[in-house]
Structure 1
């Protein structure tokens, strides 16, 4: 996991304390809490991640 390229969400930062980071691989996406990295991460398939992003972008979530 140390070799992954973690990217902070564009919704994170500033006055928003709810920060998440995402690392994407061809088959999976990993999501973790920026302020609590020691607690690990969630792993979802690339298809599930794409469906989640589609729902967020369409304001269905």
Structure 2
């Protein structure tokens, strides 16, 4: 699997380059009180998942197909 991120430019970034953000997205089901949160990053060949409170900690890597299957299952329960 590739570790090259798919970068998305922040809507708050200027047109001069720079001031852009990482590709990690916080779960829409995460609370704002600092509770159990996950962040997801879409890579070229993988989807990464990490604990938002431990950004340098371990990451899980899923194939795009496996991630889609997980999301479809989670939405059905």
**Length-normalised TM-score, structure 1:** 0.81
Q: Which has the higher strand share?
A: 1
Aligned to 2:46: 28
Aligned to 1:40: 58
Aligned to 1:53: 71
State the 1:14 CA deviation. 2.6
* Residue ranges of structure 1 left out of the alignment (5+ in a row): none
Runs of 4+ aligned structure 1 residues displaced above 2 Å come to: 13-16
**Length-normalised TM-score, structure 2:** 0.65
The two structures, once aligned, show a CA RMSD in angstroms of 2.1
State the 1:16 CA deviation. 6.2
Q: Which has the higher helix share?
A: 1
Aligned residue pairs, count = 59
Residue of structure 2 aligned with 1:7, choices 25, 28, 31? 25
Matched residues in 2 for 1:45 and 1:19: separation? 21
